[in-house]
């Protein structure tokens, strides 16, 4: 098993191992048992499709070259650090649909794009402290879930990583000469400050 964001794949010393049992198609009978649904609810097992193999392999590579060490940091810092991973994934797989990169449905992605300003407003007004380390808050915005509790059933879970990705994109749009390695090294607080992220 690979990292949580890339199930079914793992890096080895000489390559990538792919557990094909997690890419048999969302309707595969083994995923329908009660035990399987407790381990992999439908919002996760719907991603057990062949088109996720390459994306999950690249996520495992990214986790290896740029591991997420943001766990001790505050909410917005974790969002941006995780957003850097999706930003890098976009560099590796530029023609791949965002729905595969994020694991969101197309409808969830469209909802995010239409409601980007409202999502950010929810985060900054509800939390007041963008650097909170409260586990329940971090889980609400960065955890795997069918939707984000504070935003309702049309939203995806893990919406914080999507917002972090938008912040990183805004930062890189304003700093087009900065290289990939330098973006990854840039402190999350600096990225937030320089991005001047204010979606409508």
pLDDT at 2: 44
The pLDDT score that the predictor gives to residue 39 is 80
Given this model, what pLDDT does residue 35 score? Answer: 82
Contact in structure between 188 and 80 (CB atoms under 8 Å): yes
Closest-CA residue to 124 (of 191, 197, 186):
197
pLDDT at 33: 83
SS3 label, residue 87: helix
Residue 71 and residue 139 in contact, taking contact as beta carbons nearer than 8 Å: no
28-76 pLDDT tens trace = 888 888 887 888 888 989 999 999 999 999 999 999 999 988 888 999 9
Q: Report d(CA 36, CA 14) in Å as an integer.
A: 31
The pLDDT assigned to 32 comes to 84
SS3 category, 17: strand
Nearest to 24 by CA among 49, 59, 3, 4: 49
d(Cα 134, Cα 155) in Å, to the nearest integer?
Answer: 21
Give the pLDDT score at 158.
96
- End-to-end alpha carbon distance in the chain: 39
Q: What is the mean pLDDT of residues 99-118?
A: 97
Which is more confidently placed, 30 or 5?
30
pLDDT at 118 over 70: yes
State the chain's mean pLDDT as an integer. 92
The Cβ-side half-sphere exposure at 54, using a 13 Å CA radius, reads 10
Buried b vs exposed e over 45-55: b needs ≥16 C-beta within 10 Å?
Answer: bbbbbeebbeb
Could you give the 3-state DSSP secondary structure of residue 86? helix
Spatial distance between the Cα atoms of 122 and 50, rounded to a whole number of angstroms: 35
Q: Please check the confidence at residue 7 and state whether its pLDDT lies above 80.
A: no
* Domain chopping of the chain, boundaries: 1-65, 69-200
> pLDDT digits over 141-177, tens only?
999 999 999 999 999 999 999 999 999 999 999 999 9
Give, as one character, the DSSP assignment of residue 156: P
What three-state secondary structure class fits 60? helix
């Amino acid at each position: 098993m690979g990292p949580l964001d890339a199930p079914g794949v793992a890096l080895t010393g000489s390559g990538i191992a792919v557990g094909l049992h997690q890419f048999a198609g969302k309707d595969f009978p083994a995923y329908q048992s009660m035990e399987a649904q407790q381990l992999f609810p439908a919002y996760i097992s719907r991603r057990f499709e062949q088109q996720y193999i390459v994306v999950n392999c690249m996520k495992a590579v990214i986790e290896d070259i740029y591991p997420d060490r943001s766990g001790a940091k505050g909410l917005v810092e974790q969002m941006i650090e995780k957003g850097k991973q999706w930003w890098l994934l976009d560099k590796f797989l530029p023609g791949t649909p965002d729905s595969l990169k994020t694991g969101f449905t197309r409808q969830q992605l469209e909802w995010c794009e239409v409601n980007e300003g409202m999502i950010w407003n929810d985060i900054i007004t509800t939390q007041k402290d963008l650097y909170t380390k409260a586990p329940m808050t971090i889980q609400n915005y960065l955890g795997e879930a069918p939707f984000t509790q504070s935003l309702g059933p049309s939203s995806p879970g893990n919406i914080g990583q999507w917002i972090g990705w938008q912040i990183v994109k805004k930062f890189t749009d304003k700093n087009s000469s900065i290289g990939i390695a330098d973006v990854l090294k840039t402190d999350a607080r600096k990225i937030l400050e320089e991005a001047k992220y204010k979606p409508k």
